[in-house]
Amino acid sequence: MSRNQPLLDIHNITKLYSVGGWLSRNKIAAVADVSLSMLAEEPEILTLAGESGSGKTTLARMVLRLVEPTLGRILYKGRDITSIRTRKEQIEFMQDIQPIFQNPFEAFNPLKKLESYLFETAKNYDSRENGSIEDRIESALNLVGLSMREIRGRYPHELSGGQLQRVSVARALIASPSLLVADEPVSMIDASLRMSIVNLFKDLKDRHNVSIIYITHDLATAYYISDRIAIMQRGHIVEIGPVKKVLAEPFHPYTRLLRESILEPNSETAWDEEITLSTIETKEFARQGCKFANRCDSRLPICEETEPPLSFVDGREVKCWLYGVQGKHDTAS
């Protein structure tokens, strides 16, 4: 691949799902017109954050080719991943992009020994360095702080959630991928072990040049490990930029709401003011204009009618009329 080609380049992808019975067929955009790119030269951790139904998981599954986009293109190292047909192409693709799943207890068949997955992976992917299958497994396990001695002959239920998640990261690393897609990888891990997994991801990026798409609803860990963050709401990316900027000083009213709703583990900052919740969910998907308008405190007349564009403001992109062309003069302060 050429030097300046992006690692991952997502062009205006949309995923539509049909809802309702035979009489009232409605289409809902789980992911609506999303574009994203990740650079190849410099590994990064990109967080996709948002509530359930925001489309973050669907977006990740499209990147993994588990879900086919309705519209748009996903280029991986310049190559359209929807054009993959043969098993050989699929293996090449999977050698580069590997998933980490949410529930480590579900990620392995409970009736099978863990090592079988490691051997299977090592057998199916060519080594980029030399070494026997056993060596490759051992070195991947070492990277996550385990060794074959601890795994051999073990079934999933014999390990803790934290250890299992390490095994699943090790399995992914055997393929020596350039990109990991991790969907809520620590939400099922006990608090006392969680940070060790989070630190592992950070380490993989810093020292082993693996880029990571980290999907989460937990903004505190997102702040801790990621470089960039994309906030999703109802299928759209509403704000994307460096995590320090976006979370320290959120621009989009939705990001602000998310930021304020975090329960800080600190008894000094307990919140007092009350918030409004949406009563009925499907209404938000179907509305015209900004999907957040009905819950937004600072909405303008235009928000109800026209969808705002993504505009560059202060080192980030925001999808909000307050920062768009037409809203600019309203928020001079």
Partner 1 sequence: MSVLRIQNLQAYYQSTLYGVTRNVKAVDGVSLDLRANEIYGIAGESSCGKTSLIKVVFGAIKPPLTIIGGRVLYQINDRDFDITQTNDETLRQMRWKQVSYILQGSMSLLNPVRRVRKTFWDFTKAHEPVIEPEKFEATTREHLNRLGLPAEVLDSYPHQLSGGMKQRVAIALATIFQPKVILADEPTTALDVVVQRGVLQLLRRIQQETKNTLVIVTHDMGIHANIADRVGIMYAGRIVEEGTVKHIFSEPRHPYTKHLIQSLPKIGDKSKRQSIPGAPPNLADPPAGCRFHPRCPYAKPICSVQTPELSPIQDERRVACFLLTKENAHVS
Partner 2 sequence: MRGFLRVVADLYRSDPRCRFAFTAISIVIMFALMSFVSPQDPGSSYYAPPNQPPSVAHPFGTNSRGQDMFWFLTFAVRNSLVFGVITAILSRIIAISIGLIAGYKGGIIDRIMMVINDSFVVLPVLPLLILINFIIREQMSILQLAMVIAAFGWAWDARLIRSQVLSLKEREFTYTSVFSGTKTSSILISEHLPFVMPIVLSTTINNLLWAIGMEVTLAVLGLSNIGIPTIGTTIYWANQHQALISGVWWWIAAPVAISVLLFVALYLLVVGLGAYLDPRTRLQRMKGVLSDERA
Binding interface with partner 1 (CB under 8 A): 51-52, 160-163, 190-196, 198-199, 217, 219-221, 223-224, 247-248, 257-259, 261-267, 269-271, 274-275, 277-281
Binding window for partner 2 (CB under 8 A); candidates: 7-15, 19-27, 78-86, 115-123: 115-123
Nearer to partner 2, 107 or 212 (CB): 107
One-letter amino acid of 298: S
Q: Which of 328, 324, 252 is nearest to 291 (CA)?
A: 252
67 to each of 15, 30, 62, 230, how far by Cα in Å? Answer: 9, 12, 5, 20
211-216/228-233 β-pairing: unpaired
CA angle 311, 314, 315 (to 5 degrees): 85
Is position 99 an interface residue for partner 2 (rule: CB under 8 A)? yes
As a whole number of angstroms, the distance between CA 325 and CA 333 comes to 15
**Least gap, CB of 268 to partner 1 (angstroms):** 8
Q: Which is nearer to partner 1, 271 or 312 (CB)?
A: 271
Binding to partner 2 in span 60-89, by CB under 8 A: 64, 66
Q: What DSSP string describes 237-298?
A: EEEEEEHHHHHHS--SHHHHHHHHH---S-GGG---S-----S-SHHHHH-SS-TTGGG-TT
Please name the amino acid found at residue 296.
Answer: C
Smallest separation, CB 200 to partner 1 (Å): 10
Residue given tokens 């499907």 in the structure block: 282
Choosing among partner 2, partner 1, none, which partner's interface includes residue 241 (Cβ < 5 to 8 Å by kind)? Answer: none
Footprint on residues 123-182 left by partner 2 (CB under 8 A)? 123-125, 155, 157, 168, 171-172, 175
Q: Which is nearer to partner 1, 176 or 233 (CB)?
A: 233
204 sits in which H/E element = helix 191-208
Residue 108 contacts partner 2 per CB under 8 A: yes
Give least dist CB 244 to partner 1, A. Answer: 8
Instruction: Please answer whether residues 38 and 211 qualify as being in contact, where contact means their C-beta atoms are separated by less than 8 angstroms.
Output: yes
3-state SS, residue 173: helix
Which partner in partner 1, partner 2, none is near 217 (CB below 5 to 8 A by kind)?
A: partner 1
Ramachandran angles phi, psi of 275, nearest 5°: -125, 160
Among partner 2, partner 1, none, residue 249 binds (CB under 5-8 Å by kind): none
Q: How far is the CB of 12 from partner 2 (least distance, A)?
A: 26
Give min distance, CB of 183 to partner 1, in A. Answer: 16
- Smallest distance from partner 1 to CB 240, Å: 17
157 binds, among partner 1, partner 2, none (CB under 5 to 8 A by kind): partner 2
Instruction: Kindly give the pairing relationship between strand 45-49 and strand 228-233.
Output: parallel
Tokens at 292, concatenated: 């957040």
Read off the amino acid at residue 59: L
Q: Pick one of partner 2, partner 1, none as the site partner of residue 264 (Cβ within 5 to 8 A by kind).
A: partner 1
For β-strands 211-216 and 45-49, DSSP reports them as: parallel
Provide the minimum distance between the beta carbon of 207 and partner 1 in the complex, in angstroms, as a whole number.
14
Binding site for partner 2 (CB under 8 A): 64, 66, 91, 94, 98-99, 101-103, 106-112, 117, 120-121, 123-125, 155, 157, 168, 171-172, 175
